[in-house]
Structure 1
Amino acid sequence: MQPIRTASEITANIIIQPLPQTPLYQKLAKKITELRLLGMPCKDIAKSLNIAKRTVTRAYKFQKILQGGKK
């Protein structure tokens, strides 16, 4: 007959994953959309926020999807 193992006798390795970070374009989406609606070009928004023009484009598209619009 084998002895009953208790929790103290069992080694367990648990990997705790870090929480996923929200992408920058999602954080800035609302502000970028406001600036676009005011007529500011993507290039100027990118320059003023010190980000890439592609990030501005992605943020604007993301916000449109959140509001129920198409890509």
Structure 2
Amino acid sequence: MSEGRSRLLPYLAFAALGLIWGASFLFIKLGVQAMNPTVLVLIRSGSGAIALAVIMRAMGRPLVGPNWKSRIAPFTFMAV
């Protein structure tokens, strides 16, 4: 990789991250106009969980860790 290209790559990655993050707010605004906010949150959370499960499987990592039971209560409280 050339010197100029390797210096430009972090800036391009940062710009792409900003576009992806910012587009999320646009899609939320459009989605809330078309459906109930509760349904929108359920769809976003579910699709995120499915995407992470697919990535974990592709990487060969287990979906559930050895101490998953100790994490149920804290994550349940955060979800409420």
TM > 0.5 fold call? no
Q: Which structure's residues are more often helix, by fraction?
A: 2
- Alignment TM class, shorter chain as reference: under 0.3
Larger RCO (CA within 8 A; separation ≥ 6): 1
Superposition TM-score, scaled by structure 2 size: 0.22
